[in-house]
A and B are shown apart, each in its own frame.
Chain A
Amino acid sequence: MATLTPQAPSPASTAAPGRGGIWEWITTTDHKKIGILYGFSSILFFVVGGVEALFIRLQLAVPNGEILSADAYNQMFTMHATTMVFLVVMPIASAFANYFLPLQLGARDVAFPRLNAFSYWLYLAGALFLTVSFFVGGGADGGWFGYAPLSTQVTEVVRMDYWSLGLQVLGVASIASSVNFITTVLTMRAPGMTLMRMPVFSWMVFIISFLLLFSLPMVTVGLIQVFLDRNIGTLFFDAANGGDPVLWQHLFWLFGHPEVYVLILPAMGIVSEVLPTFARKPLFGRSFVIFSGIAIGFMGFGVWAHHMFTSGLGPVAEAAFALTTMFIAVPTGVKIFNWLGTIWGGSLELNTPMLFSLGFIFLFVIGGLSGVTHSIVPADSQQHDSYYVVAHFHYVLFGGAIFGIFSGIYYWFPKVFGKLLNERIGKVNFWLMFIGMNLTFAPMHVLGLNGMPRRTYRYAEGLGLDVWNLVATIGSLVLALGIAVFLYNGWRTFRKGEVAGPDPWDARTLEWTTSSPPPEHNFDRIPVVHHEDDFWHQKYTTDEEGRAVAIPADLRPVVAEGPDEDIHLPSPSYHPALAGLGIFVMLLGLVYVPWGLIAVGVGGIGFLWGMFGWSLEPLVRGDH
């Protein structure tokens, strides 16, 4: 029986990194490798979506901009949003969830390792499929929200087929990983890890998994209807034939609003991990932070129609959704106040992960407040679909989600890669992004109130919009510079980063008890948990005033551990990747019916092969 901290790398883990090679990545079922795949893919698409955003800003820098045609501009803003939502923020949350959920729970992997790999390959298939569209007649151009009947209007142009099928597949990938994460949380927690002792990040992953599980089926139905309207002449959204365009809006936003919380809750979870670590205090009102997350999850299903306040819902529905929308601010506020309570009285180490978390709070407050102004339906009838809304959700999703994610990257990078990102470059990174973000998005509040609608590829002179648009464009360049600095920091760290050690931050949760990077099987012995922030309690006790007192390393209690059992790890398998590839080919075929049916057949065979192989192959690789 060894003490838990720090774990010496076991023979298994020292053997693992040497066996590189692309085949190993394709066949991996290790949640950590899959997490890394998710992470790198989302960073790649983050750059793609960022370039799209820069094109948009350059086009709008001056009135009547001529850098992009209207057609190119519509593709840019549609794909910028689609990319950032589905190919960046969601999968990067998946990256963290994959890597750290089992580690935080004290588990050796997720519940369904091959389903996990399948989720990733399906995500990649959907992402590449959406991108392929650019090279075969243009990217999707009907908005990321794809309002019918615009999205079903011109069936000869296949762009929106790529969009509807691509999102469909991304949805399936998310549902699969939601099932996986929920099962993992419910069945694979280490002994003693009660739900309320579970780290807050894991809690938020647990909550968003339910959100995705319940919300994605609704948009799935809608996307099928769009595809059928476009391709076989159904009339779900055709008003002239008794269909209803507003039905699409309900289906989309019934998914789309919970989706907003899917994007933000993981970032809130990250912040709830980072603040206590660097304030050297436990999370203030931990159960309130968790329950407010649950409350947001439930209420998130009751506010969708605030995206439709101008559709003509009638005053009763408008008033009802105004009230629900206002009151979802309450649990959000509870979180913010608890974060303030966490840092109040702490001893704050203002390093890069902490700066990003504090930046998150600062910016999220602004986005939250402008969100409340949307619930004022009459005021929203002015703000809706104007740049004011663009300002609002970038404060929430860039200032919120992305800052939270960057905090997470700086915080967990040393655990994943064993090296610390450079602090000085990190601070430059933070300040460039913080300044750039405010320069870009704060002026958009004014632009919107001054009557600039969204999704317009040009605006006339003399509307009083020139100055703030130029400022926003300059801001976006500062922002881009900040991202470039981040990429440089990552690249530099891989080459000559400072070695981190298992617990560089003196952190509080179980993932820091393992080596950095953790061995393939995570824990030599499954830990037994006695407290929330269990790792902290192994290192510290408190005096009568409640101040932390470090326990000398040689006096730390020997933690009772799980039995010294055989370690079972899932065997590598190429079947999930094959099934994903099969689906990619099927999708391509579906766009070009009837000739494409051949591709559907070929892809279908690949998919079925993958599925059968998957179900027939042996489960476990040889014991260690």
Chain B
Amino acid sequence: MNGTERHEGRLRVGRRFFRRPTGRFVLFSIAASVLLAACTTDIPQNSLDPASPQARDIDNLWWLVFWIAVVVFVLVEVALVVAIVRFRRRRRGPEREVRQVHGNLRMEIMWTILPVVVLAVIAVPTVKTIFDLREAPTPEENALVVNVIGHQWWWEFEYPELGFSTAQEMYIPAGRSIYLNITSADVIHSFWTPRLHGKRDAVPGRVNNLTYFADEPGDYLGQCAEFCGLAHADMRHMVRAVSAGDFEVWAAKHASLPEIPEEGAVASGWETFNIICVACHVIGDVGPGVDLTVPVADRLPGGSGDYVLAPNLSYFAEREKFGGWTFENDTAHLQAWLADPSDLKPMTPELNDLEEGRVLGMPNFGLSPEDISNLTALLQSLE
């Protein structure tokens, strides 16, 4: 084989290979689009299925970077595969010694500068979006303030302007800015509702902020994203965006006290609640108590105000799930929970230290079947 023949042979191999990657690129693009598009349907925590202006900003930025990355990926990997195929040794032996090339300054400069240019293209919208997303709503936007407080292992939602708090499910009016004050009562958590916004850590002693804005009424699932101990996986939440009118109705309900019947199973459950559960839980104005006029960070351990030890149970029956939005809110699950909470959800109540403000789960109080049935009746009556 003389030099020219070899050269042509290489070219032919090269051509075949340049044709294939082109086809592969198209195939890959289609496959990637189909795959990612397919992912956007019916996946409740899909970050690529934005439902708010904030999540959409993030999504747009992501796709810009994704496609740039795809181009770089294809170019580099095709170059690699072409090099491997074209320059692989076909026979053993030293007779095909190659030229000992040590480098090429011009190429070095080129492939240093080119990535810098590409990165600069990405950097500009990135920095802009960072600052945009950090802007607090203006007074004209009339944002609703919600305090989001992480606990091991559930989320507390406080509406300081409306004077009540709830847990597991965060109701918000769609089409209105929501300004979140995010903090934690114990360890670091991270509040994440992928379809509405990126995550933000809930750090004890600090208040971090996010602005939510749900385009449409709908349910947006989320969960804690910073490892926070034993039941981290079971620390979920549901954001329920409802119409402004529905939100008014809902808020009015929560601002008033639930009515407890004077007799029957519910009344017996209420008695038990007032003996046992009240140490940590709140229903209406009964509970350990929390002063909503104290700023949220001050209400944490060591702060000046009281703090919440366990989920507020007022209007518990409206919740679809409980226990970190993990278990169906039905009779079977409620009774199982009351019989032995740690059997349903991994918790370590034996390590609780209420004076230190350390609550690592609800203890098993050894409730009688009658107590369990009465408490279940009480909880189910709180609609």
Contact = CB atoms under 8 A, between A and B. Distances in A.
B is bound to A? yes
Interface residues of A, number: 103
B100 A547 contact: yes
B280 to A, nearest CB: 18
A385 interface: yes
B130 A240 contact: no
A611 interface: no
Which residue among B35, B43, B73 has the maximum number of chain A CB atoms within 10 Å of its CB? B43
Contacts of B73: 365-366, 369
B80 A450 contact: no
A322 B127 contact: yes
Interface stretch (A7-15, A307-315, A490-498): A307-315
Contacts of B131: 315, 319
B187 A150 contact: yes
Interface in B84-98: 84, 87-89, 94, 96-98
Interface in B244-283: none
A334 B226 contact: no
Nearest to A375: B126
A287 B112 CA distance: 14
Contacts of B200: 310, 312, 381
B361 to A, nearest CB: 11
A435 interface: no
A545 interface: yes
> Interface size class for chain B?
35 or more
B199 A150 contact: no
B198 A378 contact: yes
A112 interface: no
Nearest to B197: A381
B79 interface: yes
Contact of B126 (A154, A377, A446, A458): A377
B227 A143 contact: yes
A288 interface: yes
Contacts of B79: 340
Given A71-B346, A329-B119, A386-B225, A379 B61 contact: yes
B58 A381 contact: yes
B83 A446 contact: no
A609 B195 CA distance: 62
Interface string A460-489: 101110000000000000000000000000
Contact of A372 (B69, B84, B97): B69
A330 interface: yes
A150 B84 contact: no
B204 A341 contact: no
B130 A373 contact: no
A24 interface: no
A322 B65 CA distance: 14
B233 A284 contact: no
Interface in A341-371: 341, 343-350, 358, 361-362, 365-366, 369-370
Given A343-B87, A381-B198, A382-B62, A149 B97 contact: no
B207 to A, nearest CB: 8
Contacts of B101: 281-282, 284, 341, 345, 546
Interface in B120-141: 122-123, 126-127, 129-131, 133-134
A194 interface: no
Interface stretch (A207-215, A241-249, A554-562): A241-249
Contacts, number: 316
B233 A457 contact: yes
A334 to B, nearest CB: 6
A326 B80 contact: no
A187 interface: no
A608 to B, nearest CB: 38
A341 B103 contact: yes
Nearest to A311: B201
Interface in B321-344: 326
B108 A288 contact: yes
Contacts of A459: 233
Contacts of A323: 123, 127
A69 B348 CA distance: 13
Interface in A246-262: 246
A239 B300 contact: yes
A450 B201 CA distance: 19
A47 B74 CA distance: 34
B19 interface: no
B1 interface: no
Nearest to B107: A341
A327 B112 CA distance: 10
A234 interface: no
A362 B77 contact: yes
A376 to B, nearest CB: 5
Contacts of B190: 310, 384-385
A74 B230 contact: yes
Which residue among A312, A369, A546 has the maximum number of chain B CB atoms within 10 Å of its CB? A312
A347 B232 contact: no
A322 B80 CA distance: 29
B43 A463 contact: yes
Contacts of A240: 204-205, 300-303, 357
Interface in B190-218: 190, 192, 194, 197-201, 203-206, 208
Contacts of A333: 111-112, 115
Nearest to A455: B227
Given A70-B233, A348-B88, A378-B126, A546 B99 contact: yes
Nearest to A331: B112
B116 interface: yes
B45 interface: yes
A330 B115 contact: yes
B48 interface: yes
B231 interface: yes
A453 interface: yes
A315 B47 contact: no
B224 interface: yes
Contact of B201 (A312, A340, A453, A454): A312
Contacts of B234: 70, 458
B187 A149 contact: yes
B228 interface: yes
B358 interface: yes
Contacts of A379: 58, 61-62, 65, 198
A365 B71 CA distance: 12
B11 interface: no
Nearest to A366: B73
5 contacts: A350-B84, A372-B65, A376-B62, A458-B234, A548-B97
Interface of B: 35-36, 39, 42-48, 57-58, 61-62, 65-66, 69, 72-73, 76-77, 79-80, 83-84, 87-89, 94, 96-104, 107-108, 111-112, 115-116, 119, 122-123, 126-127, 129-131, 133-134, 186-188, 190, 192, 194, 197-201, 203-206, 208, 221, 223-234, 236, 300-303, 326, 346, 348, 351, 357-358, 360
Kindly list the 9 A-B residue pairs having the minimum CB-CB distance in the complex, ordered from nearest.
A381-B198, A451-B45, A239-B205, A240-B302, A456-B233, A464-B43, A70-B346, A312-B208, A285-B103
Given A240-B300, A382-B194, A459-B233, 8 more contacts: A326-B119, A336-B76, A345-B101, A350-B89, A362-B80, A460-B236, A464-B46, A542-B100
